[in-house]
Amino acid sequence: MPHCIIEHSDDFNSSILVEAVFKGALTSRLFESQDIKVRAQPFSHYQVGFKRSAFIHVTLRMMSGRGYEQKVNLVQSVVEQLKGLNYDEVSITTEIQEIDERTYCKQLV
């Protein structure tokens, strides 16, 4: 765990973003590498105000139990990796969503 879900404008290479978010989650030292899951979804249809503006939004879904400082560290670590890609004029946003263990199910078949 976590599940890192990247939504982004189609201005960017999904593979590069996946690698950056993975590094950010790993650098936070909250997770083992084999537990970090990252996926990306580019969007070609979007609007911000009256124009199209490049964006990267990362949702970090993880089980509850992490403290506030750990969550802030995770978000900052992911954002720093994305900023390190040196893109111009892009909105980078992140959020953490806690998964309720009672309603989460994982099956390997």
Tell me: the pLDDT tens digits for 25-42? 999 999 999 999 999 999
Q: Is the pLDDT of residue 107 over 90?
A: no
**Tokens representing 64?**
């509850």
Measured in residues, the chain has a length of 109
Tens of pLDDT, residue by residue over 4-33, are 999 999 999 999 999 999 999 999 999 999
- Structural domains of the chain, ranges and CATH numbers in brackets: 3-103 (3.30.429.10)
Residue 96: per-residue pLDDT: 97
Tens of pLDDT, residue by residue over 42-71, are 999 998 888 889 999 999 999 988 999 999
Of 109 and 92, more confident: 92
Please list the helix, strand and coil fractions of the chain in percent, rounded to the nearest 5, in that order.
Answer: 35, 30, 35
The pLDDT confidence band at residue 80, using thresholds 50, 70 and 90, is very high
**Tokens representing 25?**
């989650």
Angle in degrees, CA 41, 71, 29, rounded to 5: 85
Q: Of 84, 86, 69, 85, which Cα lies nearest the Cα of 29?
A: 69
